[in-house]
């Protein structure tokens, strides 16, 4: 069975020849640059470069040899871009090891040891990575002092405001090329090339975040209060975001909707202890828009819809299913009501679980190799039966994870019967 067949079968809630595996198909199932470099050294592959394709989270694009070695079954089509040596330049990680940044990303080191990332046109400081840190933090919240007054005023300044947020301005591939002439033709060409030259399933990351954009623009504390005290402006913002999301989603479906297997949306809606908002507020402000996005994909492509949403979102899963979401990630099982047994029992016939394969807080980073293997087997016993499951760590593999534990985790998946 090919990797593509393995993924496709599991997405139809049938059992493939083995559990499908993901590492690096999207920036919530990836690996930090430091962990990637440590892993490549551990494997005796020090000559393989560590390419930091997501500069905000400092995530590496997994080396193709590593993809094959670990048995990974799906690729991000963004890896088809930045494929020349001139697209990268060398930098040092916090560990002192060598890695590579995209040629367009040029942060500066200030006198206190903090890396500063500036807007490429205005020169404004938009993100920082303090000395010893392993990712960039947002410093600009364009609507922090309040919303523009009225729909027309908000619409007029929204594009500029979005571009001042690090998640938009410092975007990962392929979207760092979205402004290039003929981008969508090139996206299709590169996706077809990956499909013809590998047996992997393919994913395209589109985001289309709704709640999260409010937190990026207003800052988390302000936007959480807005959900209850200023729903009028929240509704206007979300409607304006949807206009932009639908435009890009239309272009993606037309470009690669018949080539790519999975389209990834994102919106972190939960904390460890529960959702950020009540179910009534979610339904009032976001549910119909989520359904519109999913319906469009299903009506205009062959892709399955994947929603990355962190935390305790148990209460929202029936609404996700009703809105047409096929896949949920990262399946954060150490949060309230997110036990794998509960999720599989209640939603396993209707929702594909992509993630949830490892405890990343206590076992993957702190446990022994045997503890890692035992934890993988325990979770697969619950989540793998009847298909509808793709193995991935809960979110990205962090810098403190020992390389031997990474190897043990993926070996245990491949050995599972």
Query: Could you report the per-residue pLDDT of 250-270, keeping only the tens digit for each?
Result: 999 999 999 999 999 999 999
Residue with tokens 């033709």: 185
* 5/18 Cα distance (integer angstroms): 11
Residue with tokens 């402006």: 233
Q: Which helix (H) or strand (E) holds 265?
A: strand 262-266
| pLDDT of 58 above 90 | yes
Residue boundaries of the structural domains of the chain: 3-31+62-77+139-415
* 231/286 Cα distance (integer angstroms): 11
| pLDDT of 146 above 90 | yes
Residue 252 backbone class (left: φ over 0; alpha: ψ -120 to 50; beta: rest): alpha
Phi/psi at 268 (5° precision): -75, 115
Q: At CB < 8 A and 24+ separation, what contacts does 87-96 make? A: 88/49, 88/51, 91/52, 93/33, 93/34, 93/37, 93/50, 94/34, 94/132, 94/133, 94/134, 94/399, 95/34, 95/37, 95/38
pLDDT at 275: 98
pLDDT at 147: 98
Q: How far is CA 144 from the centre of its chain?
A: 25
pTM over 0.85: yes
Residue with tokens 């903090």: 114
Q: What is the mean pLDDT of residues 43-61?
A: 97
pLDDT digits (tens, 9 = 90+) for 181-235: 999 999 999 999 999 999 999 999 999 999 999 999 999 999 999 999 999 999 9
**Which residues 6+ apart lie within 8 Å of 193 measured at CB?**
80
pLDDT at 1: 96
> Nearest Cα to 175, choosing from 208, 223, 198?
208
| pLDDT of 164 above 90 | yes
Q: Which residues pair with 270 in a beta bridge?
A: 275
| pLDDT of 417 above 90 | no
* 306/113 Cα distance (integer angstroms): 38
Q: What is the mean pLDDT of residues 48-56?
A: 98
DSSP code for 334: T
* 113/90 Cα distance (integer angstroms): 18
pLDDT at 184: 98
pLDDT digits (tens, 9 = 90+) for 312-353: 999 999 999 999 999 999 999 999 999 999 999 999 999 999
Residue 130 backbone class (left: φ over 0; alpha: ψ -120 to 50; beta: rest): beta
DSSP code for 78: G
| pLDDT of 281 above 90 | yes
* 411/21 Cα distance (integer angstroms): 11
Phi/psi at 410 (5° precision): -75, -30
What is the assigned CATH class of domain 3-31+62-77+139-415? alpha beta
What strand order describes the sheet that includes 52-54?
31-32, 59-60, 52-54
């Amino acid at each position: 069975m090919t990797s593509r067949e393995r993924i496709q079968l599991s997405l139809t809630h049938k059992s493939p020849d083995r559990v499908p595996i993901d590492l690096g198909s999207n920036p919530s199932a990836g690996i930090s640059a430091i962990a990637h470099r440590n892993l490549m050294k551990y494997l005796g592959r020090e000559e393989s470069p560590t390419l930091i394709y997501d500069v905000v989270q400092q995530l590496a694009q997994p080396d193709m040899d590593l993809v094959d070695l670990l048995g990974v079954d799906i690729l991000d089509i963004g890896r088809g871009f930045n494929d020349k040596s001139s697209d990268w330049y060398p930098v040092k990680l916090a560990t002192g090891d060598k890695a590579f940044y995209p040629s367009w990303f040029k942060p500066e080191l200030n006198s206190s040891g903090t890396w500063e990332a500036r807007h490429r046109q205005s020169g404004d400081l938009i993100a920082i990575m303090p000395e010893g840190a392993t990712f960039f933090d947002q410093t600009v919240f364009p609507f922090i002092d309040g919303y523009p007054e009225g729909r027309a005023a908000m619409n007029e300044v929204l594009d500029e405001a979005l571009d001042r947020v690090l998640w938009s301005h410092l975007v990962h591939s392929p979207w760092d090329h979205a402004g290039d002439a003929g981008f969508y033709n090139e996206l299709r060409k590169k996706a077809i090339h990956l499909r013809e030259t590998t047996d992997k399933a393919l994913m395209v990351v589109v985001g289309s975040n709704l709640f999260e954009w409010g937190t990026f623009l207003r800052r988390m504390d302000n936007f959480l209060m807005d959900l209850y005290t200023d729903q009028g402006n929240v509704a206007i913002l979300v409607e304006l975001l949807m206009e932009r999301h639908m435009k890009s989603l239309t272009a993606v479906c037309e470009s690669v909707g018949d080539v790519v297997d999975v389209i990834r949306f994102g919106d972190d809606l939960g904390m460890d202890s529960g959702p950020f908002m009540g179910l009534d507020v979610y339904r009032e402000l976001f549910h119909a828009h989520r359904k519109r996005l999913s319906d469009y994909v299903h009506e205009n492509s062959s892709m399955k819809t994947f929603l990355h949403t962190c935390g305790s979102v148990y209460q929202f899963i029936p609404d996700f299913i009703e809105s047409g979401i096929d896949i949920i990630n990262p399946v954060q099982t150490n949060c309230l009501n997110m036990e794998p047994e509960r999720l599989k029992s209640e939603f396993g016939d209707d929702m594909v679980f992509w993630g949830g394969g490892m405890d990343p807080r206590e076992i993957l980073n702190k446990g022994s190799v045997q503890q890692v293997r035992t934890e993988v087997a325990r979770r697969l016993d619950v989540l793998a039966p009847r298909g509808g499951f793709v193995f991935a760590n809960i979110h990205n593999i962090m810098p403190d994870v020992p390389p031997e534990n990474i190897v043990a985790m993926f070996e245990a998946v491949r050995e599972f019967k």
